[in-house]
Structure 1
């Protein structure tokens, strides 16, 4: 078997990952729940269609998410099916700080890492910082309030397209377990990022940074969502904003 399967193949990360693999001449099959855009249709919660989608596949890049507790069952279903099908490499994307930041979503992501590591399928896990789009979305989602309220944290956003290239490189290599975390080229204060977003979007509302006591804020302020050492990628937040807003 030499084929590659990318779950969540039409998503923000899945689409460029599949494209990067195809650009290198690899045989890639996308998997989505609907089967749209020429992908294989399978339900990662119930398992329907998963075994068929894995036929002829040696490497799986798991990027599908429901952004909730169903992600756990999706990971279990895929891991069991991958083992049955004799998949030789399972690549998972995760988030920097899932073992240090007390959020329920992050605890689930850490559990998914454990599911993959304990699946019996050789695996690679890549943690990355949040995408540029998440930071912009933090501001844009509050369009009906007079001020943008956001936690006063430092961010290290990274381009989804550059993470996709990294995942494609890992997929064609040997399983490596958990590899070093990657974070974007800049660590920046929230006020700085918001100012850049205001210039690009034309929004005039002020920013109201929030600090609260507790373990969550302490984790972020302690740098749990940042990556020390060599930054990854070249695309900064303003590059994303120019594409998003045409500014």
Structure 2
């Protein structure tokens, strides 16, 4: 088996939900990892380099000598487009050999503003001439759980009348490390979690895990966005990816699962 060549990798969003385990796995694989941040306090994050993705300030220095950029930072639709533009510009100026962008399954078919921003960044990369890879993944279980934790004052537990396919963060992190090692591949196969469950099943599992006794009520929302989710555009057909299940996530977070 051939050894993986160590590379110098700059990770945006390297202290976030996905970035933290990805940085750890990259370092475990022998890569020299830098973490981009607006902070100047290098004692807080190992390998920290300072730069502002929203303005572009400091990016020329931060990208200097970088072989691979792993772009995971996200702050909302408008900011994501601005950050994508600055990443592409800085990577081109620094002659970066590989830009990896983490996107979401169905972004080109679901008319959410946040998703449209992801499509725009994908398009920037495709038209930039930069060697790149785009990976789309389904939603993290944290997002599914967030639908229910946000309803702490509701007398019932509302859940969308559709399926979800949560994918564990460590599974996505592991795939990103594989992509860094593989080199530029364009748009790679989408990945989704190992199981599809209904919103009702997800809500009831969360209720059991947290001890909630509220009634679970399925809801349908008018409009194109819900219709796109109901049509399953956010799901990955075929063989599922990864091993981490929604129930395992609940067990790890709450000490109880499905």
In 1, Cα distance between equivalents of 2:31 and 2:173: 15
1:129 aligns with 2:138: yes
In 2, Cα distance between equivalents of 1:178 and 1:151: 30
TM-score (ref. length: structure 1): 0.96
How far is the alpha carbon of 1:213 from its aligned partner? 3.3
CA RMSD of aligned residues (A): 1.3
- Counterpart in 1 of 2:246? 237
1:34 aligns with 2:39: yes
Equivalent residues of 1:54, 1:82 under 8 A apart? yes
In 2, Cα distance between equivalents of 1:172 and 1:132: 26
Pairs aligned (count): 247
- Counterpart in 2 of 1:47? 56
In 1, Cα distance between equivalents of 2:233 and 2:180: 27
In 2, Cα distance between equivalents of 1:32 and 1:206: 43
In 1, Cα distance between equivalents of 2:121 and 2:38: 19
Tell me the secondary structure at the aligned position of residue 16 of structure 1. Answer: helix
Q: Any stretches of 5+ residues in structure 1 without a counterpart?
A: none
- Counterpart in 2 of 1:222? 231
- Counterpart in 2 of 1:9? 14
1:175 aligns with 2:180: no
Q: Any stretches of 5+ residues in structure 2 without a counterpart?
A: 1-5
Q: After the TM superposition, which residues 91-170 of structure 1 pair with which residues of structure 2 at under 5 Å, given as runs? A: 91-170=100-179
1:60 aligns with 2:60: no
How far is the alpha carbon of 1:246 from its aligned partner? 2.1
In 1, Cα distance between equivalents of 2:29 and 2:247: 29
TM-score (ref. length: structure 2): 0.92
